[in-house]
Structure 1
Amino acid sequence: MGKTVLVVGAGIVGASVAWHLAKAGCKVTVVDTGDGGGLATRHSFAWINANWGNPEFYFHFRRRSMAGWRRLEREVPDVSVNWCGGLTWDISAEDFDTFEAEHTRWGYGMRRVDSAGAQRIEPGLKTPPDRALFVAEEGMVEPVEAARAMLAATAAAGGTLLTGTRIAALSARDGKVTGAVTADGDTILADETVIAAGTATQGMLETIGVRLGMITSPGLIMHSTVASQRLLNGMVFAPQCNVRQTREGRLIAGSDFAGADPKGEEDRMARELLARIKALVRGAEDLDVGFVTVGHRPTPADGFPAIGRPPGVEGLYVTVMHSGVTLAPIVGELAAREIVEGLRDPDLAPYDPGRPELG
């Protein structure tokens, strides 16, 4: 019998960790305050990429996870990525050439297109840009569906999902985490406890005296009413309006891919985004605001993921990051390997939860 592992959080990262652990033979229990699918996950733009000016080490880590999504599609029923590509011109004129050259040097499949090329990629654009960058290997996913597919695969492998259950505190003895206590006072014992709780991570760790510096900035995403036809082939990143079309047919958009802070003016921001979409996309004229989501990005203080064991504590593993949708496959794979086999992948070195920047 493998290790008994408690995974706190059933968003896309927690679901991936749980699936990889169950696949490795662990007895997995997943606890989630909601109904599975997480909070940050359902508020995500859900763009799978290695784009947007990351340092080289982080670029390659994200690229490795993009390959992991293709593996997950083969392994897990109902995980389906739309590898539609992304068309970007939300880059200043002075940065455009440098950005393109850097990513091309690193091996990203980035291709410059002119106005005619952009129109061929996205025929629905009313006014295509004079120049843009297209990356065919980028994809988008419906994140809650993907998380729930991995949770279903975990259950099929013998795992347990406890929904509507809030963890009040971690439990520890003699420097080792032994599980957690729910808000109802029930104790869940485990050989290993994985925290994949997004913005709740910091408070949960503080119940056992562990410090992990985080920032949790809000981001608004506007979801339109359902369009009667396909208006976009893939993802479009235009200045002040990043937009894609969901499988259901809604256009979802933020002023950047993560969404901006609405500062209490959700309706105004949503209307502005809708107006930009109507000016950008042919056929969007009859759409209205369907609903708005405001998510809080669970980001470690220096902007990079925290993946691994906090120093001085046994039986505890942390997985917290922005860009959880892109990184879910690689985080699940490498976390499970470290927990089960004790092998830490060298690519995880920059993401140690004990690094000074998070103290």
Structure 2
Amino acid sequence: MAKTVLVVGAGIVGASVAWHLAKAGCAVTIVDAGEGGGLATRHSFAWINATWGNPEFYFHFRRRSMAGWRRLESEIPGVAVNWCGGLTWDIPAEDFDRFEAEHTRWGYGMRRVDVAEALRIEPGLRMPPEQALFVAEEGMVEPVEAARAMLAAAGGKAMMGTRVVSLVTRGGKVAGARIADGTVVEADETVIAAGTATQNLLETIGVPLRMITSPGLIMHSTVAPQRLLNGMVFAPQCNARQTREGRLIAGSDFAGADPKGEEERMARELLARVKALVRGAEDLDVGFITVGHRPTPADGFPAIGRPDGVEGLYVTVMHSGVTLAPIVGELVAREIAEGIRDPDLAPYDPGRAGLR
């Protein structure tokens, strides 16, 4: 008989977990308070990468997941990554050489470019950098679309618009979750992929997990009538990319900064920076603003696994959900369906020191 698994959360991580579990032969039920696609997911810059000062173990984990995105593209209709590359010059001069050397030593496809090559990569730059780093293997994805494609491919039972209020234990084991109308959705295993709601859900059964949920604002412009950026640019004034729809989206960094109650002012400032950065953006306006809360375990690294001493429960929570979704889904499904925990998950045990 197939193992029954309840996945709480239908963002990009929960969607990947659900699809991989279904592929492994589990009977999956997905519960989400929204309509599918997640909250953190829809507020993401959606950059698939393994860069930006990560320690080596985390770099390799992210790189492994980048390869996982190529696998998902071949297996799931509707999952499409734009492998456009990322052009970066938002690095202090004193760190530039070290940053390049470190990533090159680890095997990243990073190369230094001059003004002329930067303009070949991004002809729309008003003031191209004297030197920058380009990684051709980085990509961007429309995250809600990708999550919904995975949910559709997973099949199973989907309970959208359904809020989980607590976990349910029976005989010392997690037996499912109680939803807002009081019904208990039972399962052999319950996977929490609920983003910022993870900590509160775990607290309903006394399981500690310290998290930081800092806000980040992303400005989305009105739709440009033409292609202004080929890929992603990471400049000192802002990080920006153009969506498939044609909007330029920008943040003070790729995750966005805390607006501190001044969303409109910050969005206008970001728009001005984008116009100064990208030729052809002069007539654009602010289309809309998103402020997402990053679901980050307290030490900054993902929490992936079973909390100590709790049967029937599996936790998946991280900030870099878009990059990590493929590898997390694959390894969670293997552990639940086959009982095999991948060695690469060792640093991400949710019971590690610093999270309790």
Q: TM-score range by the shorter chain?
A: over 0.9
What is the SS of the residue equivalent to 1:40? helix
Distance in 1, Cα, partners of 2:42 & 2:25 = 29
Partner in structure 2 of residue 140 of structure 1 = 140
Residue 296 of structure 2 corresponds to which residue in structure 1? 299
Aligned counterpart, 1:52: 52
Counterpart-to-counterpart distance in 2, 1:281 and 1:335:
41
Partners of 1:63 and 1:267 lie apart in 2 by 36
Residue 36 (structure 1) aligns with: 36
What is aligned with 1:258? 255
Residue 194, structure 1, aligned to residue 191, structure 2:
yes
Is residue 103 from structure 1 mapped to residue 103 from structure 2 by the alignment?
yes
- Structure 2 equivalent of residue 87 of structure 1: 87
Conservation of the 8 A alpha-carbon contact between 1:219 and 1:294: yes
Candidates 273, 277, 280, aligned match of 2:277: 280
For 1:204, the equivalent position in structure 2 comes to 201
Match of 1:316 among 313, 316, 321: 313
SS at match of 2:57: helix
The aligned counterpart of 2:163 is 166
How many Å separate the matches in 2 of 1:45 and 1:261? 15
Q: Which amino acid aligns with 2:211?
A: M
Q: Deviations over 1:203-254 (max 9, x none)?
A: 0000000000000000000000000000000000001300000000000000
TM-score, normalised relative to structure 1: 0.99
Shift of 1:2: 1.7
Distance in 1 separating the partners of 2:25 and 2:91: 46
1:257-304 CA-partner distances (Å, limit 9, x unpaired): 000000000000000000000000000000000000000000000000
Q: Partners of 1:60 and 1:243 in 2: how far apart?
A: 25
Taking the aligned partners of 2:270 and 2:255, their CA distance within structure 1 comes to 13
Structure 2 residue aligned with 1:21: 21
Instruction: Letter of the 1:154 partner, please give it.
Output: A
Describe the superposition over 1:315-344 as per-residue Cα deviations: whole angstroms up to 9, x where unpaired: 000000001000000000000000011100
Which amino acid counterpart does residue 24 of structure 1 have in structure 2?
A
Partner Cα distance (1:30, 1:46) in 2:
23
Q: Distance in 2 between matches of 1:184 and 1:228?
A: 47
SS at match of 1:125: coil
Distance (Å, rounded) in 2 between the aligned partners of 1:147 and 1:304: 22
How far does the alpha carbon of each residue in 1:43-78 deviate from its partner, in whole angstroms, 9 at most, with x for none?
Answer: 000000001010000000000000000000011010
- Aligned twin of 1:117: 117
Counterparts of 1:207-218 in structure 2 under 5 Å?
207-218=204-215
Amino acid at match of 1:330: I
The Cα shift of 1:197 comes to 0.1
Select which of 229, 233, 236 maps to 2:230. Answer: 233
| Cα pair 1:175 1:312 within 8 Å, conserved | no
Per-residue deviation at 1:173?
1.7
Q: What residue ranges of structure 1 are gaps of 5+ in the alignment?
A: none
> Offset at 1:174?
2.4
- Name the SS for the 2:39 alignment partner: coil
Mapped to 2, the partners of 1:222 and 1:161 lie a distance apart of: 31
Q: How big is the shift at 1:134?
A: 0.1
**SS of match in other structure, 1:356:** coil
String of CA shifts for 1:61-113, please: whole Å, max 9, x gaps.
00000000000001101000000000000000000000000000000000100
**Alpha-carbon distance in 1 for matches of 2:219, 2:315:** 31
The code of the aligned residue for 1:273 comes to: L
Are residues 1:356 and 2:353 paired?
Answer: yes
Secondary structure at the counterpart of residue 128 of structure 2 = coil
Q: TM-score, normalised by structure 2?
A: 1.00
2:276 is matched by which residue type in structure 1?
A
The 2-side partners of 1:253 and 1:41 are apart by 16
2:147 maps to amino acid: A
Q: Could you list the runs of 4 or more consecutive aligned residues of structure 1 that deviate by over 3 angstroms after TM superposition?
A: none
**Matches of 1:110 and 1:208, distance apart in 2:** 46
Rounded Cα–Cα distance in structure 1 between residues aligned with 2:94 and 2:296: 29
SS state at 1:179 partner = strand
Unaligned runs of 5+ in 2: none
